[in-house]
Amino acid sequence: MKKEFLGYERPKGAPGVRNYVLIIPTVICSLGVATTTRRVLDQLGESRGMVRVLNNPFGCGQVGEDLEQTTRTLINTALNPNVYGAVVVSLGCESVDAERVAREIGTEKPVELVRVQDYGYGKSIERIKESVKRMVKEASKLQRRSFDVSELTIGLECGGSDWTSGLVSNPLVGRVSDMLIEAGGSSIISEVPEFIGAEHLYAKRAVNDKVRGDVMNAVRWYEEWLKREAKVDFRGAQPSPGNIAGGITTIEEKSLGAIKKSGTAPVKGVLKFAERIRDKGHYLMITPGYDVESVSGMVAGGAQLVLFTTGRGTPTGHVIAPVIKITANRDTCKVMNDFIDFCAADVLEGKRSIDQAANDLYELMINIANGKLTKAEELGQEDFGIFRIGPTF
């Protein structure tokens, strides 16, 4: 089992497995300026493949905890080890405090702030362009060097689950999580609605009573919120139509299969959405089961890579983190080979042991950490989402 990977050193915190310059619109109103600037840089050959834009659809008409959560997601995505530096693009009148976003990012890495209302469209693009070009030039000088795997944090995700997920691919991910935890690294599981019916099994592994209580409270909070807001039975959302066609009948059944991703490691704590992991170990983060948002929460929490199991098949990735797609469904391996990174159908067929598959997946994970692209990256999937917990004004 490899104990090292090749990463990019950062001035503060863990090393990255990628090296991006990130353009962050603090509100949807400045998203167009951000994407146009990126397009211009790409066309001029100035991006060197290192520039990304956070596809932020929010940032205004929000208050309270919900506004804080959106703000935290923007800041902590920029603080992910895979990001070299960021250019924050504000409109100038939005609910999100853009100065604060830039200030907090600036405590750990290079950052610049451009307000569209200060310059207009064309001059804003010019200023963002110059800042990004400067950062790309500096970031390009960095070379990968060797780090211990204990510097890795992985997100554990499932999406488009079916009957194969709980039987093979989730337990497989749980093995790899356990291997990394044992080597001193960290992992995050999320998707709290997919703990309903299985939370008691997970809570037993909490390191103390407080964490146990936090786990049970997180599930209870989410379940009560869903019942209050949805006013109808969960079937159709949890489980989804694809889950149902694929053999999963109830949320309890889905959850019992989903928690297998967490392996056996003790649970060190419960994180808010997009809250950064502080100490090493295994954590639960409060996110929806909604794939792009749950992955985004964990990446903002510090995950440099994500292990993502699927049954029905889904191509999603994340804008600044490699998402490794794993399935044990033979049909999905065949038909959707162009976005599956690891096929474990042979484990289900009894041709490869789960232990061998875990070693193979761990090895692939290290290769991807070292720079091998996931299929989602090759396909240009730049997914990003933010979990809303309040109304839009």
- The residue range among 145-153, 239-247, 296-304, 351-359 that interacts with other proteins, by the rule CB under 8 A, is 239-247
Q: How far is the CB of 251 from other proteins (least distance, A)?
A: 4
Give the number of residues in contact with other proteins, rule: CB under 8 A: 29
Handedness of CA 176, 196, 270, 272 (dihedral sign): positive
223 sits near other proteins (criterion: CB under 8 A): yes
Cα of 41 vs its chain's centroid, Å: 26
Q: How far is the CB of 166 from other proteins (least distance, A)?
A: 7
356 sits near other proteins (criterion: CB under 8 A): no
Phi-psi region for residue 219, left (φ > 0), alpha (ψ -120 to 50) or beta? alpha
Map the footprint of other proteins across residues 166-205, applying CB under 8 A. Answer: 166-167, 196-198, 201
Helix (H) or strand (E) holding 300: helix 291-300
When binding is defined by CB under 8 A, the residue of 62, 82, 131, 164 that contacts other proteins is 164
Q: Is 340 exposed, middle or buried (0-12, 13-18, 19+ CB in 10 A)?
A: buried
162 sits near other proteins (criterion: CB under 8 A): yes
Q: How far is the CB of 233 from other proteins (least distance, A)?
A: 5
When binding is defined by CB under 8 A, the residue of 144, 235, 276, 388 that contacts other proteins is 235
- For 177, other C-beta atoms within 10 Å of its C-beta total 26
- Residue 42 CA to residue 47 CA, distance in Å, equals 5
Amino acid at 86: A
Closer Cβ to other proteins, 167 or 354, answer by number: 167
When binding is defined by CB under 8 A, the residue of 6, 244, 333, 389 that contacts other proteins is 244
For residue 254, give every residue at least 6 positions away whose Cβ sits within 8 Å of its Cβ, in sequence order, or none. 161, 166, 194, 197, 238, 239, 243, 248
Q: What would the two tokens of residue 15 be?
A: 């090393």
234 sits near other proteins (criterion: CB under 8 A): yes
Q: How far is the CB of 260 from other proteins (least distance, A)?
A: 9
251 sits near other proteins (criterion: CB under 8 A): yes
Closer Cβ to other proteins, 131 or 262, answer by number: 262
Closer Cβ to other proteins, 62 or 238, answer by number: 238
- Residue 69 CA to residue 225 CA, distance in Å, equals 17
Q: How far is the CB of 225 from other proteins (least distance, A)?
A: 12
Torsion of CA 345, 350, 352, 357, to 10 degrees: 60
Closer Cβ to other proteins, 17 or 286, answer by number: 286
- The residue range among 44-52, 226-234, 271-279, 314-322 that interacts with other proteins, by the rule CB under 8 A, is 226-234
DSSP state of 279: S
Measuring CA to CA, which residue among 94, 54, 58 is closest to residue 392?
A: 58
Catalog residues that contact other proteins under the rule CB under 8 A.
162-164, 166-167, 196-198, 201, 223, 227, 230-235, 238, 244, 246-247, 249-253, 256-257, 348
